[in-house]
């Protein structure tokens, strides 16, 4: 009986550790051109497309014919990464909500207007959502909502 309890406790601890570490998605392009999504940093010989997109200057917001923001290819790629976070079983509710908020703001064109400082703040808040402390995650999500309500 005790060995079963120890095994269950060990499995729960391993699951908690993997959940905390699995908050980031990496988009990598292999030499053959195939794009892969992973929860680990890109391997040697691949290109980290998240870093490449972050290094590129954001395109200015441009309204389409109907006055709506027209998504860029980078916007579509970022939405795919955020949707993967939302579908990931290891993501907590706050991380999924943050991904939804960012997708909404990408689609309305608000993300391209962010300064580098504002992006850094958003990224710091998003990273803090990986905390194992539920109260801290709730507080951080509130700060992120306030950030987007500006």
Most confidently predicted of 17-31, 32-46, 54-68: 32-46
User: Which range, of 2-6, 34-38, 120-124, 131-135, averages the lowest pLDDT?
Assistant: 2-6
Residue 22 inside a domain? The answer is no
The helix/strand/coil state of 48 is strand
Please say if the pLDDT value at position 54 is more than 70. Answer: no
Please say if the pLDDT value at position 59 is more than 60. Answer: no
* Long-range CB pairs of 41-49, under 8 A, 24+ apart, other chains included: 49/77
Please say if the pLDDT value at position 81 is more than 90. Answer: yes
- What is the four-CA torsion angle of 106, 123, 21, 13, rounded to 10 degrees? -100
Looking at residue 20, its pLDDT comes to: 46
User: Which range, of 9-13, 41-45, 141-145, averages the lowest pLDDT?
Assistant: 9-13
Segment 99-109 shows an average pLDDT of 93
Residue 89 inside a domain? The answer is yes
Residue 14 inside a domain? The answer is no
Residue 73 inside a domain? The answer is yes
Query: Residue 130: which domain range?
Result: 49-148
Looking at residue 23, its pLDDT comes to: 58
- The count of domains in the chain is 1
Please say if the pLDDT value at position 60 is more than 90. Answer: no
Region for residue 45 given its phi and psi (left: phi exceeds 0; alpha: psi -120 to 50; beta: otherwise): left
Looking at residue 40, its pLDDT comes to: 82
């Amino acid at each position: 009986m005790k060995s079963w309890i120890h095994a269950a406790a060990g499995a729960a601890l391993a699951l908690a550790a993997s959940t905390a570490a699995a908050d980031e998605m990496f988009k990598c392009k292999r030499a053959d051109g195939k794009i892969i999504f992973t929860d680990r940093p890109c391997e040697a010989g691949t290109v980290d497309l998240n870093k490449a997109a972050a290094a590129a200057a954001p395109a200015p917001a441009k309204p389409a014919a109907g006055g709506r923001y027209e998504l860029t290819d980078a916007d579509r790629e970022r939405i795919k990464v955020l949707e993967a976070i939302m579908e990931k079983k290891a993501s907590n509710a706050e991380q999924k909500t943050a991904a939804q908020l960012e997708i909404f703001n990408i689609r309305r064109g608000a993300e391209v207007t962010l300064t580098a400082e504002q992006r850094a703040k958003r990224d710091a808040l998003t990273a803090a959502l990986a905390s194992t402390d539920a109260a801290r995650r709730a507080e951080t999500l509130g700060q992120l909502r306030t950030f987007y309500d500006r």
